[in-house]
Structure 1
Amino acid sequence: MEPVNLFDLAAQQSRWLAVRQSAVAGNVANVNTPGYGTVDVEPFEKVLDKSGVAMAATQAGHIGGRSTDAGFAIREEQRDASLLPSENSVVLENELLKAGDIRRQFELNTAIVKAFHRMLMLTSKS
């Protein structure tokens, strides 16, 4: 297994968050469009699966990790039976919750990058 570059992983997640934010913004913009189906980006876990980063048990007592089978692409969400008369599946409340989640994930990503940058700078001082 090759070493993990945390800055590359953070950059990947930032790009993923940007694509997800675009999908959510498109949903909000089309809230009144007849027949529009809600879209979202598939989970970030699949990006990690493709990058070769995997949890590994280094001791017998460690718990193994699992990930989803979803990929990194925009997909239409499952339509439920309670569609609006216009057959639009966008629920504005759900989209606002997703937008809040994206914001929290981006802030966490930024905080982690800042912390690792500070650690890197401390190790390079002489």
Structure 2
Amino acid sequence: MQPLTLFSLASQNANWLATRQVTIASNVANANTPGYRAQDVAPFNAVLSHLQLPIATTSSGHLQPETPSGLKSAVKPADTWDVVYSGNSVNLEQEMMKAGQVGNAHTLNTNIVRAFHQLLQMAVKV
């Protein structure tokens, strides 16, 4: 039996989300600190690229993944921090938007794990 990497992946995503939430909270807490520079964590897809999860096919009828070069595009960093006179680069609106994104991602992660857990329970009962 092969290991279930979905739970491991969901756990790593939850840890990444927690780290990002702590970073956002630190930025908000230092919004009035002179000279404070806003921080963020590396995107989760950078974490995924280090995992090297292979795509396995168990049947010859499975489709092989394709990576057409026409769909790839360069991603530009959205580094739009406004630096005020005190040297602080925290933008509270951006931080609140990021906090909302983290909350939504956490809800999605939890729902996926719950659904997968229910599928496993149904499979064991059969």
TM-score by length of 2: 0.78
The structure that has the greater radius of gyration is 2
Unaligned runs of 5+ in 2: 57-61
Query: Percent same amino acid among aligned pairs?
Result: 42
Q: What is the identity, as a one-letter code, of the residue corresponding to 1:53?
A: L
Partner of 2:94 in structure 1? 94
What CA distance in whole angstroms lies between the structure 1 residues aligned with 2:100 and 2:80? 22
Moved runs in structure 1, 4+ residues, more than 3 A? 77-80
Number of residue equivalences? 115
Superimposed CA distance per residue, residues 6-45 of structure 1 (whole angstroms, 9 cap, x where no aligned partner)? 0000000000000000000000000000000000011001
RMSD over aligned Cα atoms: 2.9
Larger strand proportion of the pair: 1
Unaligned runs of 5+ in 1: 70-76
What CA distance in whole angstroms lies between the structure 1 residues aligned with 2:101 and 2:6? 21
Q: What is the identity, as a one-letter code, of the residue corresponding to 1:39?
A: Q
Name the structure, 1 or 2, with higher relative contact order (CA <8 Å, separation 6+): 2
What CA distance in whole angstroms lies between the structure 1 residues aligned with 2:43 and 2:54? 16
What CA distance in whole angstroms lies between the structure 2 residues aligned with 1:121 and 1:79? 46
Larger helix proportion of the pair: 2
